[in-house]
Chain A
Amino acid sequence: MTFLLRRGLFYLITLWAAITANFLLPRLLPGDPVQAMITKLGGRLNSDAMASLYILFGLDEKKSIWEQYVDYWGALARGDLGLSFTFFPTPVADVLSQSLPWTLGLVGVTTVIAFLLGTLMGVYAGWKRGSWMDSLIPVTTFLSSIPYFWLGLIAISVFAVTFPLLPASGGYAAGLVPEWSGEFIGSVLEHAVLPGITIVVSSVAGWILGMRNMMVTVTAEDYVLVARAKGLSQKRIMFAYAARNAVLPSISGFALSLGFIVGGALLVEMVFSYPGLGYVLFQGIGAKDYPLMQGVFLVITLAVLVANLLADIGYLLLDPRTRREG
């Protein structure tokens, strides 16, 4: 339990740091973009919306920074993230709650697939070191060096424009109403194929390489040698002895690189106009919609932290040493 408590405390501190950064950034950086936007919108903002924007972006200069900070936390506690300029007059919180499920679905599923697939391939590549599998390394390196969004562009150009097999953009076919019907779900899956494959292809290489190197290191350990000497089957040594130990750093790596992967996945959403947080962020950038951009940042950070906590639990289940500590 000590392990989970420590991690939980760390995530709370990280969340606090992210929120505080969000609070400080618009106050530290020069220029007053939000003020300009409010002026532009003029009378269309009601007084409540105006008040919350003042709290979120520190426009009320009569208050001390400390009072502003307390007000800011108060606003967050109420779930008040201000109004989106892009989707005016929808509150940011509403925009986020509509797009979050799309991102969680797409990014969550593809990341798990990429991790499992990459780890499995890495186990095999590490085990069969020196065979033809080694020639996969330059190829996977090349794939992992391609920016996510560019791979997405290529995917669209080949599979949606040149050979119109799959839809190029959106989360479901235009004209359908989101509901639990076979037609709608089919359309959602169809639209998820290209962005999903893009994310898997560009993120799988990292897992393959990491796992391969760990396998190479682990197979030289004495306990693997002993397992071989005992005459256990190759398959059993590979999974129960080598891979079981090699996967632990991979899982802690998973937790730490998640922020990076999510960043890449957001770009894929932008390219595919997928109705998730990435696309919302993209629209926000164009309109200089700071309330929306900051809201996206907070929600993504929160999601990454929760995913990290899940990875920690997985680690706990696989590594008896951390269990005993508790």
Chain B
Amino acid sequence: MNFKTRLGLGILAFFTLIAVIGSWIAPYDPSAMGDDLLSPPSGAHWFGTTMTGQDIFSQVLVGTRGVMVVGLVCGVLATFLSILVGVTAGFLGGAADEALSMLSNVFLVIPALPLIIIVASMLPSADTVLIAAVISLTAWAWGARVLRAQTMSLRRRDFVEAARASGERTWRIIVFEVLPNLTAVIASGFVGTVIFAVMLQITLSFVGVVSLSTWNWGTILFWAQSNQALGQGAWWWFVPAGLCIALLGTALALINFGIDEYANPRLRKVRA
């Protein structure tokens, strides 16, 4: 494992830890208003305070959980869907493949953000889990496409034919012969989906279509934006949350490079 991959895993582990313990180690109640209004970072408030005196450091700590939960739930759901659609299409071929490929391409081409905004704002209560489910429904298509292509190249391999010749049933061939060979692709698709889901959830929170009752990094940015933090020069209100998003995204992308390099030896760094 190279340095980049380890760095990515390290950052991910850090945020996972914060997601678990964040609400216990937060120095303040993230929603409690305080006396220091819109004060820059200080010893008492590491990331400064909001217009109503809420502690931004506590908001970031507490908000980590919402981000990670949505990422994980979407990652699992969407990866499951992409395996179901992609591997089935690639293995069966023919008309089933045409139909399933068409379905995933339609989902890919339709701009997801405006559609999800509409769905989220029509839902009577857009809580975290519901949003995660809605995001999953739009996030599976890319993975399905990649998996389909990989499955197609595996389908004609001799070991699949050999398994058929020895009398294996189709579902067993898919699950026990083809799927284990797709591990790297599935893992990389999972990580990619988590990135997509985290970004989308934060975006939805920022835009204000998601319930603001639970904290995540996007809600912090929503309040910062709606209180004109920018115009008042309160950079500390939106910089920490944004950096956390970028750090988490980078960590996941680095992990994905690691998986890609593992799966595709040509991308491995040449040693002089």
Give a binary string over B101-140; 1 marks a CB under 8 Å from any A CB, 0 the rest. 0100110111111110111011110000000000000000
B115 & A21 in contact (Cβ 8 Å cutoff)? yes
Known: A157-B235, A161-B230, A285-B207. A297 touches B115 (CB 8 A): yes
Check: B233 CB closer than 8 A to any chain A CB.
Answer: yes
Check: A319 CB closer than 8 A to any chain B CB.
Answer: no
Known: A130-B272, A304-B111. A150 touches B221 (CB 8 A): yes
Q: List the B side residues contacting A267 at CB < 8 Å.
A: 113, 203, 206-207
Q: In residues 83-114 of chain B, which contact A (Cβ within 8 Å)?
A: 102, 105-106, 108-114
Inter-chain CA distance A29–B122, complex, in Å, is 7
Q: In residues 247-269 of chain A, which contact B (Cβ within 8 Å)?
A: 255-256, 258-260, 262-264, 266-267
A153 & B230 in contact (Cβ 8 Å cutoff)? yes
B254 & A297 in contact (Cβ 8 Å cutoff)? no
B106 & A17 in contact (Cβ 8 Å cutoff)? yes
Shortest Cβ distance from A314 into chain B, in angstroms? 16
Check: B225 CB closer than 8 A to any chain A CB.
Answer: yes
Known: A26-B122, A216-B266. A10 touches B242 (CB 8 A): no
**Quick one: closest A residue to B141, CB to CB?**
A256
Q: List the B side residues contacting A216 at CB < 8 Å.
A: 266-267
Check: A31 CB closer than 8 A to any chain B CB.
Answer: yes
A290 & B122 in contact (Cβ 8 Å cutoff)? yes
Shortest Cβ distance from A275 into chain B, in angstroms? 17
Give a binary string over B17-42; 1 marks a CB under 8 Å from any A CB, 0 the rest. 00000000000000000000000000
Q: List the A side residues contacting B249 at CB < 8 Å.
A: 144-146
A294 & B269 in contact (Cβ 8 Å cutoff)? no
Check: B238 CB closer than 8 A to any chain A CB.
Answer: yes
B109 & A259 in contact (Cβ 8 Å cutoff)? yes
B203 & A217 in contact (Cβ 8 Å cutoff)? no
A296 & B114 in contact (Cβ 8 Å cutoff)? yes
Interface size on A, residues (CB 8 A): 64
Check: A186 CB closer than 8 A to any chain B CB.
Answer: no
Shortest Cβ distance from A280 into chain B, in angstroms? 11
B122 & A14 in contact (Cβ 8 Å cutoff)? no
Shortest Cβ distance from B159 into chain A, in angstroms? 24
Q: Quick one: which of A10, A259, A271 contacts B111, CB cutoff 8 A?
A: A259
Q: List the A side residues contacting B269 at CB < 8 Å.
A: 130, 134
A263 & B110 in contact (Cβ 8 Å cutoff)? no
Known: A267-B207, A305-B109, A308-B109. A147 touches B114 (CB 8 A): no
| Total A-B Cβ pairs within 8 A | 161
Check: B16 CB closer than 8 A to any chain A CB.
Answer: no
Q: In residues 271-308 of chain A, which contact B (Cβ within 8 Å)?
A: 271, 281-282, 285-286, 288, 290, 293-294, 296-297, 300-301, 304-305, 308
Q: Quick one: which of A10, A264, A301 contacts B105, CB cutoff 8 A?
A: A10
Q: Quick one: which of A11, A266, A290 contacts B114, CB cutoff 8 A?
A: A266
Report, as a range, how many residues of chain B touch the other chain: 35 or more
Q: Quick one: which of B115, B117, B124, B253 contacts A285, CB cutoff 8 A?
A: B117
Inter-chain CA distance A66–B119, complex, in Å, is 22
A10 & B270 in contact (Cβ 8 Å cutoff)? no
Known: A130-B272, A213-B267. A147 touches B108 (CB 8 A): no
Check: A141 CB closer than 8 A to any chain B CB.
Answer: yes
Inter-chain CA distance A30–B270, complex, in Å, is 57
Inter-chain CA distance A271–B109, complex, in Å, is 24
Q: List the B side residues contacting A305 at CB < 8 Å.
A: 109
Give a binary string over B61-103; 1 marks a CB under 8 Å from any A CB, 0 the rest. 0000000000000000000000000000000000000000010
Chain A interface (Cβ < 8 Å from any Cβ of B): 10-11, 13-14, 17-18, 21, 25-26, 29-31, 33, 129-130, 134, 137-138, 141-142, 144-147, 149-150, 153-154, 156-157, 161-162, 168, 213, 216-217, 220, 255-256, 258-260, 262-264, 266-267, 270-271, 281-282, 285-286, 288, 290, 293-294, 296-297, 300-301, 304-305, 308
Chain B interface (Cβ < 8 Å from any Cβ of A): 4, 102, 105-106, 108-115, 117-119, 121-124, 142, 145, 195, 199, 202-203, 206-209, 221, 224-225, 230-231, 233, 235, 238-239, 242, 245-250, 252-254, 257, 260, 264, 266-267, 269-270, 272
Contacts A/B (CB < 8 Å), 10 sampled: A25-B122, A145-B248, A145-B252, A147-B245, A149-B206, A262-B111, A271-B225, A285-B121, A301-B111, A305-B109
Task: Give 6 new A-B contacts, CB below 8 A, not counting A21-B110, A153-B221, A157-B235.
Answer: A17-B106, A147-B245, A154-B242, A260-B111, A263-B111, A266-B113
Closest 9 CB pairs of A and B: A145-B249, A263-B113, A150-B242, A259-B111, A297-B114, A146-B246, A29-B122, A145-B250, A141-B253
